[in-house]
Amino acid sequence: MEAEHGKRVYTVLQLRVHPALLKLREEILAGERRHHRVILRYITSRGTWYRHSWKGDPEKSGGIAANIGVHFFDMLIWIFGPVRSNETHISDENRMGGTLTLDGAKVDWFLSIDGTDLPPGLPPDQQTYRSVSVDGKEVEFSGGFTDLHTQVYREVLEGRGFSIEDARPAIELVHSLRNRKT
């Protein structure tokens, strides 16, 4: 499309503009240690509306890996480098999890849209849990999501948005996860 129309296609990689994740990336790139142990958990309770919308139809949304996971996979690859291997340990309509080996990290990841997976002790009105820990240190990035898309759109309007090539590694990983024979 870019070649045919002489225009650029921009992608929305909103986690790349989150202040806590920008700081984490700077710390990782500046550090001497080259391989980290990372645990990523993203759990968000979805109501019955989800199953009836396009998001709940894997043929339309790509399922959990594409609809939710692609953002987190992009963030992990952006911070820790290319994928060397990946394994899937659980994959059903509500959850997906596995292990990624990246150039700079081994990542255990878990994604869920089932509210029963939310950790105990959360406030009753909290329906989403985001957690990433690097070498046992929690990186808080639950807040600050409200304006990330707006910030990405501003960059696009200034001609500095993220490209297809920026998004490609995460898309290829999602494709691999979705098409794996188990």
The pLDDT of 44-60, averaged and rounded, is: 76
Angle of CA points 144, 93, 162, to nearest 5°: 40
Least Cα distance to 15 among 139, 103, 110 occurs for 139
131 neighbors 122 (Cβ within 8 angstroms): no
Q: What's the topology of domain 2-178?
A: Dihydrodipicolinate Reductase; domain 2 (3.30.360)
What is the number of other CB atoms lying within 10 angstroms of the CB of residue 88?
16
> What pLDDT is stored for residue 41 in this prediction?
93
Q: Looking at residue 63, what is its pLDDT? A: 78
pLDDT > 90? residue 144: no
CA atoms lying within 13 Å on the CB side of residue 14: 13
131 contacts 63 by C-beta, under 8 angstroms: no
Domains in the chain: boundaries: 2-178
- Give the C-alpha separation, 83 to 169, whole Å: 8
When the pLDDT of each residue in the chain is averaged and rounded to a whole number, the result is: 88
**What is the value of pTM for the model shown?**
0.89
40, with CB counted inside 10 A (0-12, 13-18, 19+), is: buried
Question: Residue 38 — very low, low, confident or very high, per pLDDT cuts 50/70/90?
Answer: very high
Please tell me the total number of residues recorded for the chain in this structure.
182
Say what the pLDDT of residue 49 is. 74
